[in-house]
Structure 1
Amino acid sequence: MRYYDIDIFKLNNGTHSFQFDLNDQFFEKYNLGLFEKGAGKVDVILEKSETMINATFKLNGSVELICDRSLEPFDHTFSVENKMVYKFGDEEQELDDDITIITHTTQSINVAQPVYDFIGLTIPIKKVHPDLRTAEDDQEDEEAGTMVYTSSANTQQADSDTTEQDEEEAIDPRWQALKNLKR
């Protein structure tokens, strides 16, 4: 996986671009069961400054998935753009999914894991071969993004917010006269 290392120690401050190829060997290295075959390209644009490195990943390609209905393989294409931030600090640690602290003496960063993760995020929950997709499947996919969860706790919170707004609107007239002096 050294192919996916970017030597950052030698880079000057400014913008730098790198390009990597994805192939079956890349996907086989992880062997997590999401996908094992695929091909594509990754463009990484680094903006290095004194305190951090902003990395923009542009991924294009396809991976082979197994259909949940027919168990036949099919190609799932992806085209995504994600960002990551590498901040310089005293010790290396991962703060968030997209923020990592690295030391000032870090020689290189390996982008293989973030690339694999970004591709994994494009995989649909319901993997259906394009030949077997129906209008009903497409409608379910559209509705999946609009579903909202509500509970009695959320309703109570909304009711208390409304009550607070009503109390704020019922301001003592003396305070209202003071507010008019500000204007």
Structure 2
Amino acid sequence: MEVDSKYSIYFWGLADGQHHFSFQVSKGFLANFDKTEINDLEIKIDAIMEKTPRHLGFTFHIQGIVNLQCDRCLDFFDFELNFENNLHVSFGEETSDITNIDDRMILSRKEDKIDLAKHFYDYINLQIPLQKIHPDDEKGYSTCNTEMLENIEKHMGHENPLKEVDPRWDKLKNLYN
């Protein structure tokens, strides 16, 4: 996928050794991908590339904020990201991701650049928790929208747990005894 050259590194003319790059990822970046749970984001990615004749090694330090919708109260909140990821690139006959091995890919010897946009997208989305809930405050209390939570509670159909059970089920329970 060709997203934008600002997320590509042209390595062909670079000397062997260590090189530093910096990338900014914002909301416009998300328009290039199909689905995401991210409403907005502002992320800085610092990349260190170690180049050798046969290999490119990347270390990405990814730091910033993504805006997510709370699963509990449906309000949006900022979720902070601060993590590192690695990518190892070997040169081969044709370009391919090695799907059974994380963070490895083969890049064709004919290529003069590597597009990192899809990797950035994957790294960021993999840091989003399965359950997206407002963080607690410093006292340990929920910061969810209390008005919305009260409204949800009011409209939920709670069944009475003390409701009498059908006597046929009681007879079936006796089979276990």
Q: For 1:28-107, list aligned pairs within 5 A.
A: 28-95=31-98, 96-107=101-112
Q: Does 1:127 align with 2:132?
A: yes
Alpha-carbon separation, structure 2, partners of 1:89 and 1:134: 55
Give the unaligned 5+ runs of structure 2: 143-177
**Residues 1-50 of structure 1: CA deviation (Å, up to 9, x unaligned):** 11101001111110001001111111232241321310010011100001
Contact 2:39/2:69 (8 A) holds in 1: no
Q: Which runs of 4+ in 1 moved over 3 A?
A: 131-137
- What SS does the corresponding residue of 2:6 show, helix, strand or coil? helix
Structure 1 residues 8 and 45: alpha-carbon distance in aligned structure 2, compared to 1, 3 A threshold: same
Q: Report deviation, 1:117.
A: 0.8
Which range moves more in the overlay, 28-37 or 87-96? Answer: 28-37
- What SS does the corresponding residue of 1:36 show, helix, strand or coil? strand
Q: Structure 2-normalised TM-score?
A: 0.72
Note the aligned Cα RMSD (angstroms). 2.1
**Residues 58-93 of structure 1: CA deviation (Å, up to 9, x unaligned):** 100011100001000000110010000010111111
Contact 1:52/1:86 (8 A) holds in 2: yes
Contact 2:38/2:68 (8 A) holds in 1: yes
Q: Does 1:116 align with 2:121?
A: yes
Aligned to 2:13, which of 4, 10, 13?
Answer: 10
Which range moves more in the overlay, 61-70 or 98-107? Answer: 98-107
Alpha-carbon separation, structure 2, partners of 1:71 and 1:133: 22
Q: Report deviation, 1:116.
A: 1.1
**Between the two proteins, what is the percent identity of the paired residues?**
32
Q: Structure 1-normalised TM-score?
A: 0.69
**Who is 1:143 aligned against?**
none
**Residues 92-116 of structure 1: CA deviation (Å, up to 9, x unaligned):** 1111331110122211101111111
Q: Which amino acid aligns with 2:112?
A: Q
Q: Which amino acid aligns with 2:80?
A: T
